[in-house]
Each structure stands twice: as C-alpha cells, then as structure tokens.
A and B are shown apart, each in its own frame.
Chain A
Amino acid sequence: RKEVEQDPGPFNVPEGATVAFNCTYSNSASQSFFWYRQDCRKEPKLLMSVYSSGNEDGRFTAQLNRASQYISLLIRDSKLSDSATYLCVVNIYGGSQGNLIFGKGTKLSVKP
C-alpha cells in the first residue's frame, strides 16, 4: 500500500463549483498533515496545514480523520486561478526529524 494515496484526477469543474479531494495515508504514526499546491513547472507551495479539529482558510476547508487515516480538502466557489495540482502531504516523524511524504497529487482544472 502506498504511503499517501490520492485520486490523480483530473477534476474538470466549472467556475463557481465546489470540489472535494480525498487522501489516505498508511502510517498511523504520522504527525502532521498538509495540502500543498503545485502549478505547472513550479515548486510546491504550502496551501494549508491540516489540524485534527479541521480548519478553514477562506474558500478552502481541510479535514483530518486520524481513525480512518483520511484527509480531505474542500474548495468552494472555484476560481480559474485554482487550477493546479493539489498534493496531500504527511509528515511521518515530526519536527526536525520529519520526512514529508507526498501523494502523487490531484490535478484540478477550473473552466470558465
């Protein structure tokens, strides 16, 4: 079983749509969780950290279910500029000994 699994997509949605991405991770000792965004031919950039209680940042909502080892990202009111690949990321050791494990990413394409 892969350490971090995501649906690769692509997700093709119209502007204004709500879209949800899911991710599962295999290591129950995982310490911290993130969603990164990667634009074509660019570096990954942190979109948001994911906390146990769930957290929201504007149109983006992240949820974590430790029991199911499941992470989600919800994007409301999609914009054209949201088109990118969204990477689910898990830190399996924590702190400076951490090792960020990346999923393969889910590609989102928002159309006018």
Chain B
Amino acid sequence: DTAVSQTPKYLVTQMGNDKSIKCEQNLGHDTMYWYKQDSKKFLKIMFSYNNKELIINETVPNRFSPKSPDKAHLNLHINSLELGDSAVYFCASSQPGTTEVYGYTFGSGTRLTVV
C-alpha cells in the first residue's frame, strides 16, 4: 500500500490550460504539503494544510489553488498554465509530534511539462 500517492505521475499540457494534481495519504497524518522541485532540483514549499486548514501559503501565483476535502487528501489546481510551471510537484505528509523524528513522507511526484 502506497503511503502518499499522487496522480497523475506525468502530465504534459499546453500553455493556458487548467489542470489538477491529486494527492492522498493513508498514514493518518494531520498535515499535508505541496512542494515544487524546479529544473535546478531545488525543492521549495508551496502550501501546507493541517486538518483541512491552510497554514502555510508561500509566495505562489494565485493561479495555484490547493483544496483539501478531508485530511487525507490535498489536491492542487493550476489555472492558465505557463511554461515556467514545468517542474516536479511533490505532495508530502507529516504527523504533529513526530515530525522532529520522522520528518515528512513524500509522494513519488508529478512531472508537469507545459508546452
């Protein structure tokens, strides 16, 4: 059973389109995250949700909108895709009180290519 699963694994789309990436975790964690890894391999946090509430919202264009229907799911919707959005997007989760020992668990990533 995959702990943090993302779909799709690969996404190729044209500029201007709107797309969604889904994430689900079966670890019972309260907190979920979206990270972006760009072409230079730098991992940067985008959003964090704790029990469906937004707690971190880094400087990200408002074309990116996260949605958490329940604490096991955190989806990412992107409007009007741009070439610069091409990257690998990682979902992650963690449990308060254990983060200091176990860090975050990451999904396998969604490789987004905008053409």
Interface of A toward B, CB cutoff 8 Å: 31-32, 34, 36, 42-46, 49, 85, 87, 89, 91, 94-102, 104-105
Contacts and interface: CB of A to CB of B under 8 A. Distances in A.
Interface residues of B, number: 28
B107 to A, nearest CB: 6
Nearest to A107: B41
A43 B94 contact: no
A43 B99 CA distance: 18
Contact of B103 (A46, A96, A99): A46
A99 B99 contact: no
Central interface residue in B41, B99, B104, by most chain A CB within 10 Å: B99
A98 B96 CA distance: 9
A4 to B, nearest CB: 10
Nearest to A100: B104
B30 to A, nearest CB: 6
Contacts of A32: 99-100, 103
Contacts of B94: 96, 98
B42 A95 contact: no
Contacts of A99: 45, 48, 56
Contacts of A34: 103
Contacts of B48: 99
A89 B100 contact: no
